[in-house]
Chains A and B, each alone.
Chain A
């Protein structure tokens, strides 16, 4: 979503993005002329008249589970967005009985919060797991 019109979106997709992505952009490119939606989400830069690089993860109940906002020159890491969605999906599937520690990705160990885990995370999880 940006402040560009759907006409500009069409030109950008048809003349540039479709040369980078086969078949063009596979999701709707939305228009927020005037920044009304961006304002509600807290990402509209009124001075510049554009949206900042905001990214929101919204779950199937319509709840915002996470967001990230960057200034324009730095692009997102889409793999990190996917990783976060996978983590939120796991938490949701397990009904909150499992949590994903720092550095978690699919296949790595989760934590099972409970009385017995208090003060014992060091037995279950090592700092290096945040980095590998």
Chain B
């Protein structure tokens, strides 16, 4: 689940994890994405990732696969303070 993250001056970053997210393949995958915007498919595994976050007063780090066994609603949105 979410593990606590110390609040430092560095800005933590997350990203995809797993077979297809190795350092060498990242650049190539990004280039391909620029050419053809790919959408993930229903019925297939959700790409795993880790991401820093904020949860109930603490900075946390969340890994999607830590939530296996639960139903997940993963929502993306354009930005904080953007009204809708």
Residues of chain A having any CB pair with chain B under 8 Å: 1-13, 16, 23-34, 36-43, 46, 48, 50-67, 72-76, 81, 85, 88-89
Contact between A74 and B73, CB atoms less than 8 A apart: no
- Asked if residues B77 and A51 are in contact (CB atoms below 8 Å), the reply is yes
Q: B residues within 8 A CB of A89?
A: 71
Instruction: List residues of chain B with CB within 8 A of the CB of A60.
Output: 68-71
Name the residue in A10, A38, A81 with the highest tally of chain B Cβ atoms < 10 Å from its Cβ.
A10
Give which listed residue, B12, B57, B76, contacts A2 with CB less than 8 A.
B76
Residues of B within 8 A of A12 (CB): 80-81
Contact check, B76 vs A28: say whether CB atoms are below 8 A apart: no
Task: Assess the B11–A64 pair: CB atoms within 8 A.
Answer: no
User: Given A1-B74, A6-B53, A31-B51, A39–B33 Cβ distance below 8 Å?
Assistant: yes
Known: A34-B13, A67-B42. A28 touches B62 (CB 8 A): yes
Asked whether, in the complex, the Cβ of A57 is within 8 Å of the Cβ of B53, the reply is no
Roughly how many angstroms separate A13 CA and B49 CA in the complex, as a whole number?
23
CA distance A23 to B57 in the complex (A): 10
A51 contacts across to B, CB distance below 8 A: 76-78
A63 and B44 contact, CB distance less than 8 A: yes
Which B1-44 residues have a C-beta within 8 angstroms of A? 2, 5, 11-16, 21, 26, 30, 33-34, 37-44
Given known contacts A57-B72, A63-B45, A74-B84, A28 and B65 CB-to-CB distance under 8 angstroms: no
* Residue pair A55, B74 in contact (C-beta under 8 Å): yes
Interchain CB contact under 8 A, B49 and A57: no
Q: Do residues A30 and B72 form an inter-chain contact, with CB atoms below 8 A?
A: no
Q: How far is the CB of B9 from chain A (nearest CB, A)?
A: 10
Inter-chain contact B75/A54, CB cutoff 8 Å: yes
B43: chain A residues at CB < 8 Å are 63-65
Contact of A52 among B12, B45, B78, B81 (CB under 8 A): B78
- Could you give 11 example pairs across A and B, Cβ below 8 Å? A1-B74, A2-B77, A30-B62, A37-B49, A40-B21, A55-B74, A56-B46, A60-B71, A63-B45, A64-B43, A75-B84
